[in-house]
Structure 1
Amino acid sequence: MPENTVVVGIDGSDSALQAARWAAAVATACGAPLHIVHAMPSFGRNLTETAAAIQAAIMSYQRDSALIFLRAARDAVRQDRPDLTVTTEASETPVDEALIEASRTARLIVLGGKDVTGAAAVLLGSTTLRVATRAECPVVAFRGDRVAVADKPIVVGVDGSDAGVGVLATAFEFARSLQVKLVAVRSWTTRAPVGDVTVPFLIDWDALEAAEWSALTDLVDEWRQRYPEVDVECVVETMSPGRALLRHAADAQLVVVGSRGRNALTGLVLGSTSMNLLHHSPVPVMVTRAAAD
């Protein structure tokens, strides 16, 4: 697989097929080839005999159907984009391991979207969560039903952390490739934990909001100088980050958020904002690593 390839993982579902078509549109916009991967499902260990039997049946079905799934995805992509370079791969490796390995040289990993629940994050995880928290390139959880690049903006959440800087860099890069507007969203809230504020009516809320605006625009201006062709809008919202990003996602084609790194609990790694978006976003969600990575 050439470097900077857009990679999409499929499992034969309709959602994965749509993800492949969307990934092809992004690959075309980025001038990159597309690599479609089908790998074995990932299961937990220490399974009961019944669960192990179900696992074996599922894996047998997936193995027997792999070439059919790959051919269907390839044909759908080529029907949309006959000039795009498309390769396929059937792997016996668990899907999360296969995609994490591919991320070492890929430009982007795309996954067909299934809901990510809190139980999945805390107990077993899911393919989306495992890949998003360990991949070495940005990972997109496909959401919605749009399979082509539109003229709608990309929304990015900015919080000033190292992960936030990496998110902003990635968002600018893809906004330039897709030739769309970028909306940088920073949120803050007038709520404070009990005990933090003893005389709340003495707080200069206007000054705090001005400080949030200054922090956002200063950070965005650094990247605007590197990507002068990208039209950027800065937005400061007085609400939680998750609510703020979901509010703007309704009019966007992609939301970009950050991962904090690696941790045993994927929910803690991604944070509540990213988990909320993976569960509720109506459009694809891109998770990217910290700038240092």
Structure 2
Amino acid sequence: MPEHNTPVVVGIDGSDSALQAARWAGAVAAVYGAPLHIVHAMPSIGRNLTETAVAIQAAIMSYQHDSALIFLRAATAAVQQDQPDLSITTEASETPVDEALIDASATARLIVLGGKDVTGAAALLLGSTTLRVVTNAACPVVAFRGDAVGVSEKPIVVGVDGTAAGDGVLATAFEFAKAMAVKLVAVRSWTTRAPAGDVTIPFLIDWDALEAAEWSALTGQVDQWRQRYPEVDVECVVETMSPGRALLRHAEDAQLVVVGSRGRNALTGLVLGSTSMNLLHHSQVPVMVTRAQPE
């Protein structure tokens, strides 16, 4: 599929924040000159539910089915108000939302998960569904957060961990920074804390040398991508704190946070561990998760 025809896909659930997510996704699509595809799908029922839970789920599904076209029209109208020239298509899918979005990711530039209100439908869309989509999607996935409905001049923050997966994260972050013509802040974190027993004489450790090594590792990895994207202004930051705290700190002045996943399951995946879950729960800006491709 030609790159300019590769759509940005946004999943909506009818909530107000889903409309905001659709508007944000439309703004990103406009930046890329790409079409926007808005998807409404059925909540996942799950397994081994009680009879009461099944009845509640069935009621939610019935409501969602009857309201799908209304939700899609509302989202389309909201996006068109911001982006009148944007090409928009819609889809009301009968399949579970996670399956619909994972299938859509095969031909998408980006998947945006919209909806975070504490309702039955939104909890399904941005709860376990987020983990399933992030883990299995073939393209980057954005969990929409905050109140932004468009792109801005604020920087993009990317978490860099020095792994091979980190190169994929940097590639995605540089691409978005270039498209949005904004600064990129590359954050690497390390800590002076060591597990008990690992350091026998901690006061003999050259912490300055260790920090210099972290700087060298970060700038070395970033410079490889800076050469490919010379138009992108990059700031490298090394923080002596946990990755989650470091990224949240810099996200306060950013419009997007980009992190990586090794594509493992929700319990063992790198980005689906404490750092990314911390971001998904506490970030006030959209969080993009890009999964490493198999070697």
Relative to the length of structure 2, the TM-score reads 0.93
**Given the alignment, which residue of 221, 226, 229 partners 1:227?**
229
Q: How big is each residue's C-alpha offset from its partner over 1:222-243, in whole Å with a ceiling of 9 and x where there is no partner?
A: 0001111110000000000000
| Native 8 Å contact 1:8 1:109 kept in 2 | yes
Q: Following superposition of structure 1 onto structure 2, how do residues 35-46 of structure 1 map, counting pairs within 5 Å?
A: 35-46=37-48
Deviates most, 31-40 or 270-279: 270-279
Rounded Cα–Cα distance in structure 2 between residues aligned with 1:268 and 1:125: 18
Matched, 1:94 2:88: no
Q: Give the match for residue 8 of structure 2.
A: 6
Cα–Cα, structure 1 residues 14 and 257, in superposed 2: closer, same or farther, change >3 Å? same
Deviates most, 267-276 or 50-59: 267-276
**Given the alignment, which residue of 261, 265, 283 partners 1:281?**
283
Q: Is the partner of 1:270 in helix, strand or coil? A: coil
Q: Following superposition of structure 1 onto structure 2, how do residues 149-168 of structure 1 map, counting pairs within 5 Å?
A: 149-168=151-170
Q: How big is each residue's C-alpha offset from its partner over 1:37-80, in whole Å with a ceiling of 9 and x where there is no partner?
A: 00000121122211111111111100000000000000000011
Letter in 2 for 1:17: L
Q: How big is each residue's C-alpha offset from its partner over 1:79-105, in whole Å with a ceiling of 9 and x where there is no partner?
A: 111000000000000000000000011
Rounded Cα–Cα distance in structure 1 between residues aligned with 2:30 and 2:134: 23
Percent sequence identity is 85
Q: Give the match for residue 259 of structure 2.
A: 257
Rounded Cα–Cα distance in structure 2 between residues aligned with 1:76 and 1:41: 23
Shift of 1:248: 0.1
**Given the alignment, which residue of 13, 30, 33 partners 2:32?**
30
**Given the alignment, which residue of 249, 253, 261 partners 1:247?**
249
Cα–Cα, structure 1 residues 167 and 214, in superposed 2: closer, same or farther, change >3 Å? same
Q: Following superposition of structure 1 onto structure 2, how do residues 1-293 of structure 1 map, counting pairs within 5 Å?
A: 4-114=6-116, 126-263=128-265, 265=267, 270-292=272-294
Shift of 1:163: 1.8
Cα–Cα, structure 1 residues 266 and 132, in superposed 2: closer, same or farther, change >3 Å? farther
State how many pairs are aligned. 286
Q: Is the partner of 2:227 in helix, strand or coil? A: helix
| Native 8 Å contact 2:131 2:266 kept in 1 | no
Shift of 1:266: 6.4
Cα–Cα, structure 1 residues 139 and 83, in superposed 2: closer, same or farther, change >3 Å? same
**Any stretches of 5+ residues in structure 2 without a counterpart?**
119-125
**Any stretches of 5+ residues in structure 1 without a counterpart?**
117-123
Rounded Cα–Cα distance in structure 2 between residues aligned with 1:232 and 1:107: 23
| Native 8 Å contact 1:277 1:285 kept in 2 | yes
| Native 8 Å contact 1:267 1:275 kept in 2 | no
Cα–Cα, structure 1 residues 156 and 113, in superposed 2: closer, same or farther, change >3 Å? farther
Shift of 1:263: 2.0
| Native 8 Å contact 1:6 1:27 kept in 2 | yes
Deviates most, 92-101 or 50-59: 50-59
Relative to the length of structure 1, the TM-score reads 0.94
Rounded Cα–Cα distance in structure 1 between residues aligned with 2:87 and 2:114: 20
Shift of 1:265: 2.8
Cα–Cα, structure 1 residues 179 and 292, in superposed 2: closer, same or farther, change >3 Å? farther
Rounded Cα–Cα distance in structure 1 between residues aligned with 2:45 and 2:54: 9
Letter in 1 for 2:75: A
